[in-house]
C-alpha cells in the first residue's frame, strides 16, 4: 500500500479514537495527496496534502498529521467555510478556536507542544472580547500588534483557508450531531467543554428573520396554548424559520386578526443591556406593530423594567412612535427580574386599562426570574447577545435569539 495513504488512514483512525465526536466529520472528508511540498488545505470536501510535506510532518511527529486532520474537520464543524487569508484576524481567530478545542482535549494522538501557550493566548483574547465568538475574537485580534499576529499564526495555523468553497450545507447536520455527542464527552475540563459548547451553539444558532417573526407575532398572536406539553417553543421557532411548515399564519388569518389593538413591548433595562440593540429592536417592533394594527386604534405599552417597572409609555399612533424614538432613554441599571412587568400588565388588565391584550414581547440580554404561571396572553422573549449562551424559557413562552448584527445598523439621527 502507498505509504502516504497508510499514514493518512492510520492518522484519521487515530483522530476518531481520540475524539469520537469527530468521526462523522473525518469520514466525510476525502484525504488526498499531491506530489511536492506545500501547506495542506481543505475545501470542505477533501483535505489536500503534499507528499513531501506530509512525510516530513510524520517524521517530525505523527501527531502533526492527526492534528491537521482534526483541525480541518473542526473548521468544517464550526462552519468556517468562507475562504480567507489564514494570516488575517478572521483566519487567525478561526484557527485559534479549533486549536483551543484540540489542546483542551489533551488526548494522546492530538497533543502537540506549546499547548499551554495556545490555551493561554486564546483564553486571554476570550476575556478581552467577552466571548469566544470568532467574530468577537477577530475584532480583538485586529487591535493587536503585527508581532502578536505573527506569533499567533506560528502557534495556531496548520492549513490554507483560501480554497474553501463557501458551501456549508452538508456540514450543518454533522455539526448538530457533534453538538449532541460532545454533551456526552466528559474528557475535557469543564470550563473548556463549556467554551466548545458555546462555539457549537453559535454555529448552530437558528437564524431568524425576526422582522418577519414580529409581523407574524403581532398579526396572529394566537398560538397553540391548550396543551403546554405539546407546545414546544423550539419546534415553534424552527417552524417559523421554515415558513409554511407550521400552521402559524396564513394570509386569511393575517386579515382576520387585524382587530388586535393592544400590545406590550417590555424592555429589560438591567445594567448589562446595550442601548444600541435595544433602541433598534424598539424601532423595528413599533414599526411592525403599527403596520399590523388598525390606524388610530393601536395601544402599545412600552414598559421598561429591570427589577422593577421603571416606566410605561403608551403609544397610540405614528406621532407617538416618532417622539418616543427621538426621546428614548434607558431607565434602569439594576438586575433582571421579569415578574414585575408581568404583575404590572396584570394590574392594567384588572383595572380595565388593557382589554384585548394579545401579546407581549420581552427584549432581554440574559437570565432573569420568570413568572411561574402562564399569563393570559402570548409572550415571546427576545434575547440579544453573542449567540453562545443557552436561554432557558418557561414552556408557555416563545423564544427568539438574536445577535446585535441581526438588528441592522443603528439609525443615525
* Residue 133: how many other CB atoms lie within 10 Å: 22
- Burial pattern 48-62, b for ≥16 Cβ within 10 A else e, equals bbbbebbbebbeeee
Which one of 87-95, 256-264, 265-273, 301-309 is the stretch in contact with Zn ion (CB under 5 A)?
87-95
Interface map 100-139 toward Zn ion (x if CB under 5 A): ----------------------------------------
DSSP string, 90-103: HHHHHHHHHHHHHH
Q: Closer to Zn ion at the Cβ: 89 or 368?
A: 89
Q: Confirm if 86 and 138 have CB atoms less than 8 A apart.
A: no
Q: Report the nearest approach of Zn ion to the CB of residue 158 (Å).
A: 6
C-alpha cell at 200: 457549537
Q: Closer to Zn ion at the Cβ: 159 or 385?
A: 159
Phi/psi of residue 162, each to 5°? -85, -25
Q: Confirm if 345 and 249 have CB atoms less than 8 A apart.
A: no
Q: Closer to Zn ion at the Cβ: 159 or 262?
A: 159
Q: Confirm if 368 and 381 have CB atoms less than 8 A apart.
A: no
The total number of residues shown for the chain amounts to 413
- Burial pattern 318-327, b for ≥16 Cβ within 10 A else e, equals eebbeebeee
Q: Report the nearest approach of Zn ion to the CB of residue 187 (Å).
A: 23
Which of 18, 43, 159, 268 touches Zn ion by CB under 5 A?
159
Which of 43, 95, 283, 306 touches Zn ion by CB under 5 A?
95
Where in 274-313 is the site for Zn ion (CB under 5 A)? Answer: none
Interface map 306-345 toward Zn ion (x if CB under 5 A): ----------------------------------------
CA distance 29 to 34: 16
Instruction: Count the site residues for Zn ion by CB under 5 A.
Output: 2
Q: Report the nearest approach of Zn ion to the CB of residue 95 (Å).
A: 4
Q: Closer to Zn ion at the Cβ: 93 or 178?
A: 93
Q: Closer to Zn ion at the Cβ: 91 or 387?
A: 91
**Exposed/middle/buried for 21, CB within 10 Å: 0-12, 13-18, 19+?**
buried
Q: Closer to Zn ion at the Cβ: 159 or 306?
A: 159
Which one of 134-142, 153-161, 162-170, 190-198 is the stretch in contact with Zn ion (CB under 5 A)?
153-161
Which one of 90-98, 164-172, 276-284, 391-399 is the stretch in contact with Zn ion (CB under 5 A)?
90-98
Cross-sheet strand order for the sheet of 309-315: 309-315, 299-305, 262-268, 357-364, 378-384, 398-402
Q: Report the nearest approach of Zn ion to the CB of residue 85 (Å).
A: 11
Q: Is 397 in a helix, a strand, or coil?
A: coil
Q: Report the nearest approach of Zn ion to the CB of residue 202 (Å).
A: 17
Q: Report the nearest approach of Zn ion to the CB of residue 161 (Å).
A: 6
Q: Closer to Zn ion at the Cβ: 47 or 249?
A: 47
Which one of 32-40, 89-97, 168-176, 208-216 is the stretch in contact with Zn ion (CB under 5 A)?
89-97
- Taking alpha carbons only, the member of 288, 285, 280, 240 closest to residue 266 is 285
**Exposed/middle/buried for 153, CB within 10 Å: 0-12, 13-18, 19+?**
middle
Residues that bind Zn ion (CB under 5 A): 95, 159
Amino acid at each position: 500500500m502507498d505509504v502516504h495513504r497508510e499514514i493518512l488512514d492510520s492518522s484519521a483512525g487515530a483522530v476518531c479514537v481520540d475524539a469520537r465526536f469527530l468521526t462523522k466529520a473525518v469520514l466525510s472528508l476525502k484525504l488526498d495527496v499531491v506530489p511536492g511540498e506545500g501547506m495542506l488545505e481543505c475545501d470542505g470536501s477533501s483535505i489536500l496534502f503534499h507528499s513531501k510535506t506530509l512525510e516530513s510532518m510524520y517524521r517530525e511527529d505523527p501527531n502533526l498529521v492527526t492534528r491537521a486532520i482534526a483541525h480541518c474537520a473542526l473548521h468544517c464543524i464550526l462552519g468556517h467555510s468562507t475562504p480567507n487569508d489564514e494570516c488575517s484576524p478572521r483566519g487567525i481567530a478561526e484557527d485559534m478556536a479549533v486549536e483551543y478545542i484540540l489542546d483542551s482535549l489533551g488526548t494522546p494522538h492530538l497533543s502537540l507542544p506549546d499547548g499551554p501557550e495556545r490555551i493561554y493566548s486564546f483564553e486571554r483574547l476570550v476575556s478581552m472580547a467577552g466571548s469566544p465568538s470568532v467574530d468577537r475574537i477577530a475584532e480583538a485580534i485586529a487591535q493587536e500588534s503585527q508581532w502578536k499576529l505573527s506569533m499567533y499564526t506560528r502557534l495556531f495555523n496548520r492549513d490554507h483557508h483560501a480554497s474553501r468553497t463557501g458551501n456549508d450545507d452538508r456540514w450543518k447536520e454533522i455539526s448538530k450531531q457533534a453538538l449532541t455527542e460532545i454533551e456526552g464527552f466528559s474528557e475535557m475540563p469543564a470550563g473548556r467543554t463549556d467554551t466548545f459548547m458555546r462555539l457549537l451553539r453559535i454555529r448552530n444558532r437558528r437564524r431568524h428573520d425576526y422582522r418577519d417573526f414580529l409581523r407574524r407575532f403581532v398579526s396572529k398572536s394566537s398560538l397553540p396554548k391548550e396543551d403546554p406539553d405539546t407546545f414546544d417553543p423550539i419546534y415553534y421557532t424552527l417552524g417559523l424559520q421554515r415558513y409554511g411548515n407550521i400552521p402559524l399564519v396564513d394570509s386569511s388569518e393575517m386579515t382576520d386578526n387585524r382587530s388586535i389593538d393592544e400590545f406590550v413591548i417590555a424592555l429589560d433595562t438591567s445594567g448589562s443591556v446595550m442601548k444600541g440593540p435595544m433602541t433598534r429592536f424598539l424601532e423595528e417592533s413599533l414599526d411592525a406593530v403599527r403596520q399590523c394594527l388598525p390606524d388610530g386604534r393601536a395601544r402599545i405599552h412600552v414598559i421598561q423594567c429591570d427589577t422593577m417597572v421603571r416606566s410605561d409609555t403608551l403609544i397610540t399612533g405614528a406621532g407617538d412612535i416618532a417622539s418616543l424614538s427621538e426621546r428614548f432613554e434607558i431607565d434602569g441599571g439594576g438586575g433582571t427580574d421579569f415578574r414585575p412587568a408581568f404583575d404590572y400588565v396584570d394590574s392594567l388588565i384588572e383595572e380595565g386599562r388593557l382589554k384585548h391584550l394579545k401579546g407581549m414581547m420581552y427584549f432581554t440580554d440574559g437570565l432573569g426570574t420568570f413568572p411561574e404561571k402562564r399569563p393570559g396572553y402570548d409572550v415571546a422573549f427576545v434575547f440579544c447577545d453573542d449567540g453562545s449562551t443557552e436561554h432557558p424559557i418557561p414552556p408557555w413562552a416563545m423564544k427568539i435569539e438574536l445577535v446585535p448584527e441581526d438588528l441592522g445598523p443603528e439609525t443615525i439621527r
